[in-house]
Structure 1
């Protein structure tokens, strides 16, 4: 009996030691007071959740394989990717804030209107960038692409993830010239009725196309300090609305309906149903040519006056349960060695956020070695013709005006 009692006591002691060794997740207060080396040690052996758009198999694969493996190898942190769009996770965060409940999201893929909404409702933790070594070593902290998100001051509440820019893609086997302006686009549509269209402006890429047309006609400077008023905004963009109405009858299905998303327009382009498509991923065309989806005659191009570019970001919710691992993940993605893996068009084709002037020769050589593929617009031309995004509070108003004025009219 005594022997059994001793064994029981030893088992209880062993279990208590195991419980005591369980990895504790660092609190917000702890993270704010820790050095980054201490944050790294606190994150080891834990899991970090990454919430964001999951609509691209290539991007999902990059996160699940390249990022997850290197994160585990270097920091012993497990990455759990959760596909969830802002329309789902923002209400979730608002509800958690109202109920003062525990969080479940560590890192968000976010930008634009959604960042504006999240920051305005105090749904983000920060500032965080001052804590991230790779941000301060390899990024230009004075760049507008880093300081602003759709015209809204970032103030350290997000860290850049990658850069996007509107690129048009045309089939040179069908089009003798590629339109470099809104006027040339209209003439092309008239010459090839039913063979051009754009994505519904309620969608991110379609909205960007409409804003590009607006910029090409009335410029972008007027929107820098424009009042967020529907009537005033409609008056400002009226020349662009008139243009879109003139363009409409020459579009696919006479502009009565529009492709709902990027993939639908890409499929129409692949099938020869239309002669142009568009993307926010500059090297998208190279990947599509390489896998045989697009013809070898597909060619990316920009308007002469430029196209809209923006930055996508990573942020932490106010109630992120594992803030230490969240900071480790964000810092890891900002490293040149990870940024270059998604620069490759066969992987993603996403523009890097690292500043070439801050890279070592060896790091710069990694980027120079990437084959950006066929049909792409060189990065140098993209940067020269990169236009600033419109303020986030103006974008939904323009989308609403487009829905009022264009489809079905």
Structure 2
């Protein structure tokens, strides 16, 4: 998922200051018609990862136009490199006493960044039942109701479902390795043809977590609250694997791509044989744009790949909560989710339960074309692996920096 990055360690330790989470009685309890009326004429500052032109166009163009035409809202997309930038901006404002007039109204978020806001009592909660499109969400699904192990508890609206996938060029590689063990063997047998971004970049971080799962014999021992004794047992095995791979990586592991976009450029230039992403749709878009080889194909591992949900959250000190709620509800609706799922727009998997829609809308989702470079979501889902709780992610990223990145 693109919407998550590593928050500053200091932010995790902040305790909520008095008055940070101001009561939002002016919004909570209002009817939806009253919220829409209050939202009219407001500007929503939406902070989100800005590294994808097609995602930026969807938000600024499609959603921005809907917000303006239907609700008189100006949607101001603010592109950032890392979600932690928005989270830390909120925390710094609150620490400075800016309790009601913050600069951030909406954040594309999940994982440890959401956990940071929750710990600091810095996120607006309790509004889900007011949103008309909340009825489309299956909150009984723990992959939706828990964000990297942190209960959503009415503090976020889901936006996308994603699952990690690998991509290769079928014209150059007839049969890719189909398990993590086989992939590790392939890397050592084909020096210089594989790399991954350095954590805490989210693409590199999730690849490292796959290696961590492999070292643990599967994710089962790692699920639930962070346990130091389990980490201490598994981590050295994972670091040994990753350090053993180093001489076989692109540029002998002396440097790593800065992020998934840089990895994609290496793949496009045929400097490496594998790309990977939480968003398999990006491979089809890359082929159509002429960036990736025409033979690009994506797939999941037989022993599974990690999937999660990403969300939209409203900071507690946003002064434009009504307008932020209207935008979040708009983004959650079947119309916006269908448009986002179109392969020539984004190709994102819907966050809503399509089975709750009227038959005609269900058929529209079922009829969506799929680019041959994009692995079917249902196929990936058959071997979906759960995300770890945010505490595990923080520890694994820090451990990689210390025991792999600095060596």
Fold-level similarity (TM above 0.5): yes
The yes-or-no answer on 1:280 pairing with 2:297 is no
* Alignment counterpart, residue 90 of structure 2, candidates 80, 89, 93: 93
Per-residue deviation, 1:306: 1.0
Per-residue deviation, 1:381: 1.0
Residues 251-308 of structure 1 deviation map (CA, whole Å, 9 limit, x = unaligned):
1122222111111111111111111111111211111111111111111011111111
Per-residue deviation, 1:113: 0.7
Alpha-carbon separation, structure 2, partners of 1:78 and 1:369: 32
Aligned to 2:12: none
* Alignment counterpart, residue 297 of structure 1, candidates 283, 291, 295: 295
Alpha-carbon separation, structure 2, partners of 1:107 and 1:86: 11
Alpha-carbon separation, structure 2, partners of 1:76 and 1:362: 29
- Kept in 1: contact 2:221–2:230 (CA 8 A): no
* Alignment counterpart, residue 66 of structure 1, candidates 57, 62, 65: 62
Alpha-carbon separation, structure 1, partners of 2:118 and 2:238: 31
Alpha-carbon separation, structure 1, partners of 2:214 and 2:178: 10
- Kept in 2: contact 1:112–1:150 (CA 8 A): yes
Q: May I ask how many residue pairs the two structures share in their alignment?
A: 381
- The 3 A distance-change label for structure 1 pair 216 and 360 is farther
- The 3 A distance-change label for structure 1 pair 147 and 78 is same
> Which residues of 2 match residues 381-392 of structure 1 at below 5 A?
381-392=379-390
Alpha-carbon separation, structure 1, partners of 2:143 and 2:33: 28
TM-score relative to the length of structure 1: 0.89
Per-residue deviation, 1:324: 1.0
Residues 144-186 of structure 1 deviation map (CA, whole Å, 9 limit, x = unaligned):
1221111111111011011221111111222221111122112
Aligned to 1:215: 213
Per-residue deviation, 1:215: 1.8
Per-residue deviation, 1:372: 2.1
- Kept in 1: contact 2:222–2:230 (CA 8 A): no
The yes-or-no answer on 1:48 pairing with 2:44 is yes
* Alignment counterpart, residue 78 of structure 2, candidates 70, 79, 82: 82
- The 3 A distance-change label for structure 1 pair 159 and 257 is same
SS in 2 for 1:124: coil
- Kept in 1: contact 2:299–2:380 (CA 8 A): no
The yes-or-no answer on 1:141 pairing with 2:139 is yes
Alpha-carbon separation, structure 2, partners of 1:226 and 1:125: 25
Aligned to 1:120: 119
SS in 1 for 2:297: strand
> Which residues of 2 match residues 307-346 of structure 1 at below 5 A?
307-346=305-344
- Kept in 2: contact 1:289–1:374 (CA 8 A): no
Unaligned runs of 5+ in 1: 1-26
Residues 291-349 of structure 1 deviation map (CA, whole Å, 9 limit, x = unaligned):
11111111101111111111111111111111111111101100011011111232222
Per-residue deviation, 1:131: 1.6
- Kept in 2: contact 1:228–1:393 (CA 8 A): no
Unaligned runs of 5+ in 2: 1-22
- Kept in 2: contact 1:170–1:276 (CA 8 A): yes
SS in 1 for 2:312: strand
Alpha-carbon separation, structure 2, partners of 1:387 and 1:132: 30
